[in-house]
Chain A
Amino acid sequence: MKKILGVTCMLLLLVVAGCGEKTYKPRDIVAETDVCKICNMSIVHGDYAGEIVLKNGDYEIFDDLGCLIDYVKKNGDKEIGAAFIKDEKNKKWINVFKGSYVYSKDFWTPMNYGVLAFDSEKAAKDWIASEGQGKLLTYEDLLDFKWGIHE
């Protein structure tokens, strides 16, 4: 009886652990083989790369924030576990949905979309101040943003 109780408790613990919120982590970019899901460009500028981790564990890689947003607009976010982009200042992965963004046609990115990512609004504003140019954007703004070269 005690054995059955013990095994049942163990099983219940496992089930509870499995039901907990899943954690999604970005992976390292592999320059030799990774290509952008949208435009097929090889990822050679890792500092601007983006990643989407799907709920099934698959990774979709992007060479530019614009391509990542293009994917979200085309496929929706139902199957997305997490989305990451490199922060412009410290080059670390940040959550796309919670990031702050700065656009200028003079900012270079691999697809020349000109949008840089920051982990906080303060960091984005500081960047605008230091560069003397740039427009502050939120994630929601990116969904309506007109991506492409701007004269």
Chain B
Amino acid sequence: MRKWLFAFCFVFLWVPKSYAAEDIQQLIDNAKPGETITIPTGEYTGHFVIDKPLTLKGDGVFKADGQEPVLTIHQTRNVRIEGFTIVTNATAMEIKDAKNVSIENLHLEKVNAGVKVYNSTAIQAKDITITGREGHYSQKGNGLAFFKSHSIEVSHVKINNVQDGIYLEGVKNITLKNNDVTNGRYGVHFMYSEEGVAQSNHLEKNVTGFMVMMAKDVTLSENVLAKQRGLNSYGVVLYDVQRLRLKKNVLAENRTAISIQNSKSVTIVNNQFAMNETAVEAMQSDHSNVVAKNTFTGNILTARSDVNGVRLEGNYYDDYTGLDADDNGIGDTSYVALSSFGQWMVREPAYQYFVEAPAVTLLSTVDQQINRSSQGVLSDYSPLMVSAHMQSATTVNKGMAVGQLLLGLLFVFIGGFFWKRGIRS
């Protein structure tokens, strides 16, 4: 008898309820425009469509199979989706022809693609985790994909194991802040987009961190681009880009930190390039592009380019061997990044496997000596003796050192005082 009672309680009281799609859809259909619907905790199977202003919130789990998105928002405005988990091997959400839509605090799991947005305006995505299903990225979609849309804000989104983390095609007015993308093809992919700001994002272990193509008026600042180490991997690729500013980023442990191809008015300033195989690559670079006031440390090759080169101005290079006789903080001779082997790597990327071979190291050393007097490409005529980043760290350390000194003196006096007292007694 007790067993039957226990079984009864388990089935009807403890087992999570599973609602059919029609129940949720009916709630949506019956809601008045602008209403808030709170979905009870539980699992919901099916595909849902929202075509009116609505807030949908809860902590339930939406599941579905098949090719359709689990949740579709179309031809409406003022929609807010908050708090759900969506599990599907297709697309979690699709937003089409919509305005003022906010999606936040969501978990999209094992998805082929996360959220697709078409022809929409004022879309905000915040505090979302997206995890792609198993498999190679070529067989999957993107984490967040925006097409022909306007005014997009994405913040505090974590994306792992998809094709492109954030894909933007034909989008204007973009803000990407504090997002993490890992293990994808491209962390963030701009295509034919403009007026974008990407700040404080962390892109790691992708094929390429930022892939910026046919874009203009973009600022990439204070991002960390690290460990893009594959055969054809880059921290940043700029292809046919106009008016881009790359500042205060950390580009570390990438195969090639940044590649500038066929671009104009690109300004790369105040970045740290550390422990990359190649720091800067430039091909068909316009004379308006400049790499200035950056710090290059621990990179195998500082820069390589085709005959156009790229302007290097006032950077710090840890392998600079010149002197500063007048102590103005600027080296008296130019820094030559030009390297025969570097140029060969541009033409034949497979040569990068020989980059640390003894013969190549010797060739690079000879290059430095021979090219020092050349007025050619990849020369910095005002190399810094101390990195700007190290200068600020030193300033901070000086302050700390003085404080520590004063504290130390205080302890000495106190110790001396008690020692004297001890002697008298």
| A residues apposed to B, CB below 8 Å | 31-33, 35, 39-44, 111-112, 148-149
Whether A44 and B191, one on each chain, are in contact in the complex, defined by CB atoms closer than 8 angstroms, is no
Interface contacts beyond A42-B232, A111-B213: sample of 4 additional A-B pairs, CB < 8 Å, sorted by A: A31-B136, A33-B231, A40-B234, A149-B214
Whether B137 and A44, one on each chain, are in contact in the complex, defined by CB atoms closer than 8 angstroms, is yes
Q: List 26 A-B contacts (CB under 8 A).
A: A31-B136, A31-B138, A32-B136, A33-B231, A35-B232, A39-B239, A40-B232, A40-B234, A40-B237, A40-B239, A40-B261, A41-B211, A41-B213, A42-B138, A42-B185, A42-B232, A43-B138, A44-B138, A44-B163, A44-B185, A111-B213, A112-B170, A112-B191, A149-B170, A149-B192, A149-B214
Q: Across the interface, name the chain A residue whose C-beta is closest to B170.
A: A149
Measured between beta carbons, the chain A residues less than 8 angstroms from B259 are: 40
Q: Across the interface, name the chain B residue whose C-beta is closest to A151.
A: B170
Q: Taking the nearest CB of chain B, how far is it from the CB of A74, in angstroms?
A: 10
Give A44 to B211 CA distance when docked, in angstroms.
15
Q: Taking the nearest CB of chain A, how far is it from the CB of B416, in angstroms?
A: 68
Whether B239 and A112, one on each chain, are in contact in the complex, defined by CB atoms closer than 8 angstroms, is no
**Is B169 at the interface (CB under 8 A from chain A)?**
yes
Q: Taking the nearest CB of chain A, how far is it from the CB of B414, in angstroms?
A: 65
Nearest 3 CB-CB pairings of A with B: A31-B138, A44-B138, A35-B232
Contact with A along B190-206 (1 / 0, CB 8 A): 01100000000000000
| B residues apposed to A, CB below 8 Å | 136-139, 163, 169-170, 185, 191-192, 207, 211, 213-214, 231-232, 234, 237, 239, 259, 261
Give A112 to B169 CA distance when docked, in angstroms.
9
Q: Taking the nearest CB of chain A, how far is it from the CB of B119, in angstroms?
A: 13
Measured between beta carbons, the chain A residues less than 8 angstroms from B261 are: 39-40
Measured between beta carbons, the chain B residues less than 8 angstroms from A33 are: 231-232
**Chain A interface mostly helix, strand, loop or mixed?**
loop
Q: Taking the nearest CB of chain A, how far is it from the CB of B285, in angstroms?
A: 15
Q: Across the interface, name the chain B residue whose C-beta is closest to A34.
A: B232
Give A112 to B190 CA distance when docked, in angstroms.
12
Contact partner of B138 (CB less than 8 A), chosen from A32, A39, A112, is A32
Measured between beta carbons, the chain B residues less than 8 angstroms from A42 are: 138, 185, 207, 232
Measured between beta carbons, the chain A residues less than 8 angstroms from B136 are: 31-32
Measured between beta carbons, the chain B residues less than 8 angstroms from A39 are: 213, 239, 261
Give A116 to B213 CA distance when docked, in angstroms.
21
Measured between beta carbons, the chain A residues less than 8 angstroms from B211 are: 41
Measured between beta carbons, the chain B residues less than 8 angstroms from A44 are: 137-138, 163, 185
Give A33 to B138 CA distance when docked, in angstroms.
11
Q: Across the interface, name the chain A residue whose C-beta is closest to B214.
A: A149
Give A120 to B156 CA distance when docked, in angstroms.
50
Give A31 to B140 CA distance when docked, in angstroms.
12
Measured between beta carbons, the chain A residues less than 8 angstroms from B239 are: 39-40
Measured between beta carbons, the chain B residues less than 8 angstroms from A148 are: 214
Whether B231 and A112, one on each chain, are in contact in the complex, defined by CB atoms closer than 8 angstroms, is no
Q: Taking the nearest CB of chain B, how far is it from the CB of A64, in angstroms?
A: 11
Q: Across the interface, name the chain A residue whose C-beta is closest to B163.
A: A44
Q: Across the interface, name the chain B residue whose C-beta is closest to A45.
A: B138
Q: Taking the nearest CB of chain B, how far is it from the CB of A104, in angstroms?
A: 15
Q: Across the interface, name the chain A residue whose C-beta is closest to B191.
A: A112
